[in-house]
């Protein structure tokens, strides 16, 4: 009795070892490509029929069979087989069982090499569109909070030391800028993802008179991968996506770190919603910022996937190699992780509550308006470097007195410069400081509101 194998039984005299079957199979994870495998197969079959490589009768049978397979998969009735290795052969085997020889003819003029590259690009294109929507959703949440708290004064930090007053709204807008760059990067990545490899076959193209442009149009690709060797072996699109995802996770991790810090009683700048916090099994008073901590931790997971893909590809000769099967799990998990983090952060940030009194108290602890005093002296004609020195001496005096710079009496301030007048204290308040920065990119409440409006307009484009 002949030994059976899906594709190459006539080439081999021994069956595949069971351990090798398990080791080489990818169906456990690549089955998520099934929808796109069917889409690609339908477009390929229609092109073959249009080119008279496949009969209309076979096309009708293939179309009917793939429609049934699609329904079976959606209903959870499809029987996935480890023996069929991957999503492609599982579907092809079922199709052949349903429609006979027509199913066997579907693979004419293609290879699993260009097939998997096409499926992966179709899948990633759709996931990028979902991720862009999730980024927009989180941006909108941050914009709502920024507008609501455009005038809420808090300390801005450098080196985690109080630097100058800003507003909570202005601070949140910094993350809107980061996320908008992430969204733009995904738009750019999508253009390079959206190139059709199908038609490259195993590595050298095909001798059949195929029409690749027709397939590209039907599947919504912007263009063709024009070199057959590169088409089947290229994973730049996956690496580039993972790089963009890693940068996005850097941004989410930075925000997560701030939330962890701000929600600590030592800062007390924000209250995290109960629905996005956890308690302790032993300490009844605890309210732990587990969601931000997990987002911060998951950033390392995505960074690792990027490194894995770079390492995977760095020494591969042309063209396709089995190594490339290892791109799927890293790519899939990167998408899943980024989607989860964006979605949970949108919920968290929509319910976060700032604590104005804690923020304002912190502003008054670090001489945050020292630069405003220096600017005041410059406007009085004092060279900036001299003004810097004058204010530094005033700060030293305030430290010695145990008060904030703005709390020094006018007579004490005037002892450092005769140019200081009675109008100085109005400028040294946190509110006066932020109000003075009334230019594009500044932290003045009016500018924050204008920045929110510009950002909302960008999101609609």
How far apart are alpha carbons 84 and 90 in whole angstroms?
5
Listing DSSP states for 271-318 in one string gives E--GGG-B--SS-TT--B-HHHHHHHHHHHHHHHHHHHHHHHHTTPPS
DSSP string for residues in 130-143: HHHHHHHHHHHHHH
How far, in Å, are 96, 104, 112, 328, 361 from residue 92 at the CA level? Answer: 6, 8, 11, 20, 68
Closest of 114, 103, 126 to residue 35, by C-alpha: 126
> Burial of 96 by CB count in 10 Å (0-12 exposed, 13-18 middle, 19+ buried)?
middle
Query: Which entry of 159, 207, 281, 439 is annotated as an active-site residue?
Result: 159
**Environment class of 10 (CB within 10 Å of its CB; exposed 0-12, middle 13-18, buried 19+):** exposed
Angle at 303 between CA 302 and CA 309, to 5 degrees: 90
Residue among 9, 55, 264, 280 flagged as catalytic: 280
Integer Cα distance of 154 and 141 in angstroms: 20
3-state DSSP call for residue 454? helix
Phi, psi for residue 346 in degrees, rounded to 5: -60, -40
Q: Assign 155 to helix, strand or coil.
A: strand
> What are all long-range contacts of 441-447, with beta carbons under 8 Å and residues at least 24 apart?
443/156, 443/165, 443/166, 443/167, 443/170, 445/150, 445/151, 445/167, 445/169
Which residue is associated with the tokens 């095909």? Answer: 206
Cα angle: 137, vertex 138, 140; to 5 degrees: 65
Q: What are the residues whose beta carbons fall under 8 Å from the beta carbon of 60, sequence distance 6 or more?
A: none
In order of 68, 79, 222, the CA distances from 338 in angstroms are: 33, 30, 25
3-state SS, residue 436: coil
Is 425 known to be catalytic?
Answer: no
- Known catalytic residue at 70: no
To the nearest 10 degrees (0 to 180), the angle between helices 34-50 and 56-75 is: 170
The first and second tokens of residue 31, run together, are 């089955």
**Are the C-beta atoms of residues 168 and 354 closer than 8 Å to each other?**
yes
Distances (CA, A) of 79 to 27, 84, 90, 103: 11, 11, 9, 17
Rounded Cα distance between 262 and 35, Å, is 44
**Which residue numbers are catalytic?**
159, 280
């Amino acid at each position: 009795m002949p030994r059976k194998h899906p594709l190459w039984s006539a080439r081999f005299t021994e069956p595949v070892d069971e351990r090798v079957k398990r080791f080489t199979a990818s169906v456990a994870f690549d089955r998520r490509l099934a929808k796109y495998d069917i889409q690609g197969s339908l477009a390929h079959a229609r092109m073959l029929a249009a080119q008279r490589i496949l009969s209309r009768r076979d096309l009708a049978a293939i179309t009917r069979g793939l429609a049934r397979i699609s329904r079976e998969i959606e209903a959870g009735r499809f029987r996935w087989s480890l023996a069929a290795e991957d999503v492609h052969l599982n579907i092809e085997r079922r199709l052949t069982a349903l429609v006979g020889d027509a199913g066997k003819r579907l693979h004419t003029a293609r290879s699993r090499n260009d097939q998997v590259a096409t499926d992966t690009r179709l899948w990633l294109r759709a996931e990028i569109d979902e991720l862009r929507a999730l980024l927009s959703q989180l941006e909108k949440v941050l914009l709502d909070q920024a507008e609501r708290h455009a005038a809420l004064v808090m300390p801005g930090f450098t080196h985690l030391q109080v630097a100058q007053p800003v507003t909570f709204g202005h601070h949140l807008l910094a993350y809107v800028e980061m996320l908008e760059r992430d969204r733009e990067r995904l738009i750019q990545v999508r253009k390079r993802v959206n190139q059709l490899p199908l038609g490259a076959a195993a590595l050298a193209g095909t001798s059949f008179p195929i029409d690749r442009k027709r397939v590209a149009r039907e599947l919504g690709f912007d263009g063709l991968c024009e070199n057959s060797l590169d088409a089947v072996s290229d994973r730049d699109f996956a690496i580039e996506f993972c790089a963009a995802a890693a940068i996005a996770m850097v941004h989410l991790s930075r925000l997560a770190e701030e939330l962890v810090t701000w929600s600590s009683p030592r800062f007390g700048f924000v209250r995290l919603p109960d629905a996005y916090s956890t308690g302790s099994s032993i300490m009844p008073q605890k309210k732990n910022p587990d969601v931000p901590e997990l987002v911060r931790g998951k950033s390392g997971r995505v960074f690792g996937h990027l490194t894995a893909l770079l390492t995977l590809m760095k020494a591969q000769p042309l063209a396709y190699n089995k190594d490339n099967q290892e791109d799927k799990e890293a790519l899939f998990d990167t998408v899943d992780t980024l989607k989860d983090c964006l979605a949970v952060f949108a919920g968290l940030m929509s319910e976060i509550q700032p604590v104005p009194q804690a923020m304002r108290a912190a502003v008054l602890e670090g001489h945050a308006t020292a630069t405003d005093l220096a600017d005041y002296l410059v406007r009085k004609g004092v060279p900036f470097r001299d003004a810097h020195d004058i204010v530094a001496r005033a700060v030293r005096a305030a430290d010695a007195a145990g008060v904030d710079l703005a709390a020094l009496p006018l007579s004490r301030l005037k002892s450092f410069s005769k140019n200081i007048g009675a109008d100085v204290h109005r400028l040294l308040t946190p509110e006066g400081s932020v109000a003075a920065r009334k230019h594009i990119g500044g932290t003045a409440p009016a500018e924050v509101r204008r920045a929110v409006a510009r950002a909302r307009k960008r999101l609609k484009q």
